[in-house]
Structure 1
Amino acid sequence: MATADQILALVRSFIADENDRFLAIASQVATHESRQGHHEVARQLKDLIESAKRRQTKLSPSRRPVPIIQPKGELANLLSASFPEDRLSDLVLSSENHLRLKQVIHEQRQRDKLAAHGLVPRHKLLLIGPPGTGKTMTARALAGELRLPLFVVRLDGLITKFMGETASKLRLVFEAIAESRGVYLFDEFDALGAQRAADNDVGEIRRILNSFLQFLEAETANSIIIGATNHPEILDKALFRRFDDVITYTLPDPAAVEEVIRNRLANFDTANLEWVSIRSSAQGLSQADIVRACEEAAKAAVLEDSKRISESFLLDAFEAKRHANRLQLQIGDIRNAGR
C-alpha cells in the first residue's frame, strides 16, 4: 500500500490542481507497489498514469477547463482574480532575477518535500523598481508556472478613511490567503507600507502598517504573497525583514532592449533595422514602454499590408513614449507642489 506521506502528497497535489505532480507521485506509488510484489496493482496504476498523460497532452491550453475561483461577498471588493498562462520564459530578466525566480518556483513545486523536513518554501516576495519593468508580469508568470490563480489586492477597496476599517479588511484578505492557495499581489505596496515615522504620518496609517506586519508575520506558506512598489525609499524598514526575497528591477540595458523588441516583433521582418540606433533610441524607456512602441509599429505595418517594420516609425514611437513620460512627471510635480 502507498505510504502515509504519499497519500498526503497525492491529496495536496489534487487540491492544488497540480496534475504533473499528482502523476509523478502516482508513479512513485506504482514503483512502491511493484517492489512490494503487488505487480498487478502496479501495472494497473502505470496504465492509468500513461492514459492520463496522453489525455493531458491532447488537451491544448485553450481547451483546458478554467477553474472558477472568484472572490465572493466583501472579498469581491478587495480582490480581483485571474488565471494567467504567462511563463517565466515570456519575461526579459537579468540573469540574477531569473535564477532567483526559478528558485522560488522550484521550492514551491517541492514544498511537500521541504515540509517533511520542517522547511518552508520562499513565498513572500518584495519586488521593487521603476514602473513598467516587469513586476506585475512576474506575478503573472509565477501564477502561470505554478498553475495558480492570481489575486490582485484592490487597494482602492482596502484603504478607507474610517478608523480600524482597513485593518479589518486586511484581516479578510489574509484569511483568504490562508484558505485559498494562489499568488496574491499587493501592487503599489507603498500605500500600505509607508514609514511609520514619516512627517505626514497619522495614527491610522501606523495602525494599518502594524496590522499588516502582524498578519504577514503570522501567515502560513500556503500562498505566495508579492508586494510591488515603485518607491522602495518610503517603505518602512521593518517590512524588508518580513519578506523572503527582495528583488530589484531596473530599466532594460541595450541587450535587453533588443531582446524585448525581437520577442515582440517576432512575427515581422526586422532585417532592415539598424540595431545600434534602435538600442540607443530606446535607452531610458521601460520594458512596457518598448512593448507599446513595438505594438504601434506593428499596427502601422499591418495597416500598410506589410510584414516589414519601419525603423523611422519605431524611433518616432520611442520618442513619443519618452515625451509622454516627461509630461507625466511634470504633472506629478505640479500635483505634489499643490499639496
Structure 2
Amino acid sequence: MASADHIKALLKSHLEGDEQRFYSVAMQLAAHEAKLGHGKLAEELRTLVDKAKQRRGTTSQPVPIGKPRGELAELLSVSYPKTRLGDMVLDDALERQILRIIREQRHAARILEHGLSPRRKLLLMGPPGTGKTMTGSVLAGELGLPLFQVRLDGLITKYMGETAAKLRQVFEATSQTRGVYFFDEFDAIGSQRGLANDVGEIRRVLNSFLQMIEQDRSHSLIVAATNHPEILDRALFRRFDDLLHYELPDIPHIGLVLESRLGRWAEASVSWTCLAEVAAGLSHADIARATDEALKEALIEDTAKISEADIRRMLEERRQVSRRLASHHE
C-alpha cells in the first residue's frame, strides 16, 4: 500500500495546485508499488497519470500562484515569462545544454520513477549581456513555471545570522511552490572564502548556501548566474547539476541577431555580415539595444526602411556607451 509520505505529498501538491509535483509523486508511488510486487497496480497508476497529462496538457499550463507575501515579498519578485528557446541566438553547444535541461524537466516523472534526477540546479557563467538572465526566462517560459528572481537587496543584510535565515526562507519556498528560482549576481554570496575582502557574515552565508542547495529535494529549478566565475568558491561547482558557459557572440551569430531583429524593417541592400563585423565584441544585450534604437528612430522619422548606415551608427553609439560603462566599473 501507499506510504504515509506519498499520501501526504499527493494531498499537499493537489491543494497547492502543483500538477507537475502531483504527477511526479504519483509516478514515485507507482514505482513503490512495483517494488512491492504489485505490478498490475503500478501499471494502472502509470496509465492514469499518462491519461491525465494528455488531457490537461500540464507542460504548457502555468502554475497558479499569487505573488509572494509577507517577508517573501521582500526576497522574491515573480513573473510569468513567455520567452521561448527560439527567441535566443546561441552557439550549438549551449543550445543543446539548455534543450536537454528542458527535456529532462518535461519528462521528470519518468526519470524519477527510475531513481534518477533531472537537471535542475544550474550555474550560468559569462560576461554581462550574453543571455544568462534571459535563460531563466526561457526555462520558465518553456516549462510553464513562474520565475522567481531572488532580490539581493532584501536578502543580504549587515546583521549576523539574518541573511542565512532569509536564505532558508527562499529554499523553503522552492519546496512549497515549484518554479524557477533565479539568483543573479551570485558572486555576492558565493565568493571564495578567504578573499582579502571576505567578512565573517558572508562566509557564514556561503556555508549556509552550500548546505541548503545540497539538501534541497524540491522539484523547483535553482539557477545562479555570475559574471565573475573566477571568484566563486570552488566548493560551489560540484553542488550544481550543470554548468553553462556564455560567451560574447561571434560574427556569424551577430549577423543572425541583427537580421532576426531588423530584417523585416531594413533595406534589401543591407549587408548583415558587414554590420556584424562592426558589432564584433558587443554583447547580445548591447546589440539588442542598438537594434531597438535604430527601429525607434525609424518610427519617429517615419522612414520607410532602415538603412545600413543608420544601423551602423547605432551600433557604434552603443559601443561608445558600453566603453563608458566599463570605464566606470574599473
Task: Decide: shared fold, TM above 0.5.
Answer: yes
- For 2:135, the aligned partner's letter is T
Residue 234 of structure 2 corresponds to residue 237 of structure 1: yes
- For 2:130, the aligned partner's letter is T
Residue 252 of structure 2 corresponds to residue 276 of structure 1: no
2:313 counterpart residue number: 316
- For 1:98, the aligned partner's letter is E
- Determine if contact 2:258/2:272 at 8 Å carries over to the other structure: no
- For 1:316, the aligned partner's letter is R
- Determine if contact 2:259/2:272 at 8 Å carries over to the other structure: no
Distance 2:216 2:63 in 1: 27
1:191 counterpart residue number: 188
- Give the share of equivalent positions with the same residue, in percent: 50
Residue 123 of structure 2 corresponds to residue 139 of structure 1: no
Residue 261 of structure 2 corresponds to residue 264 of structure 1: yes
Distance 2:260 2:116 in 1: 38
1:39 counterpart residue number: none
Deviation string, structure 1 residues 156-190 (Cα, Å, up to 9, x no partner):
00001111110000000000011110000000000
The secondary structure found in structure 2 opposite 1:184 is strand
Let me know the Cα RMSD of the aligned residues: 3.0
Question: Could you tell me the TM-score, scaled by structure 2's length?
Answer: 0.82
Residue 198 of structure 2 corresponds to residue 201 of structure 1: yes
Contiguous gaps of at least 5 residues in structure 2: 1-5, 28-39
1:336 counterpart residue number: none
Distance 1:75 1:101 in 2: 28
Residue 248 of structure 2 corresponds to residue 251 of structure 1: yes
- Determine if contact 1:121/1:221 at 8 Å carries over to the other structure: no
Contiguous gaps of at least 5 residues in structure 1: 26-31, 37-41, 334-339
2:324 pairs, out of 309, 323, 327, with 327
1:296 counterpart residue number: 293
The secondary structure found in structure 2 opposite 1:242 is coil
Distance 1:115 1:49 in 2: 16
C-alpha displacement at 1:155, in angstroms?
Answer: 0.3
Deviation string, structure 1 residues 71-112 (Cα, Å, up to 9, x no partner):
110000000000001111111111111111111111111111
Deviation string, structure 1 residues 225-246 (Cα, Å, up to 9, x no partner):
0000001111001111111111
1:110 counterpart residue number: 107
Deviation string, structure 1 residues 54-86 (Cα, Å, up to 9, x no partner):
xx9xxxx9xx98844211100000000000011
Residue 13 of structure 2 corresponds to residue 16 of structure 1: no
C-alpha displacement at 1:314, in angstroms?
Answer: 1.3
Change (3 A) 1:174 1:51: closer
2:148 pairs, out of 143, 147, 151, with 151
Distance 1:243 1:210 in 2: 15
1:178 counterpart residue number: 175
Change (3 A) 1:52 1:109: closer
- For 1:256, the aligned partner's letter is H
C-alpha displacement at 1:267, in angstroms?
Answer: 3.4
Distance 1:289 1:51 in 2: 43
Question: Could you tell me the TM-score, scaled by structure 1's length?
Answer: 0.80
- Determine if contact 1:297/1:310 at 8 Å carries over to the other structure: no
C-alpha displacement at 1:270, in angstroms?
Answer: 4.0
Task: State the aligned residue count.
Answer: 299
The secondary structure found in structure 2 opposite 1:106 is helix
1:77 pairs, out of 69, 74, 77, with 74
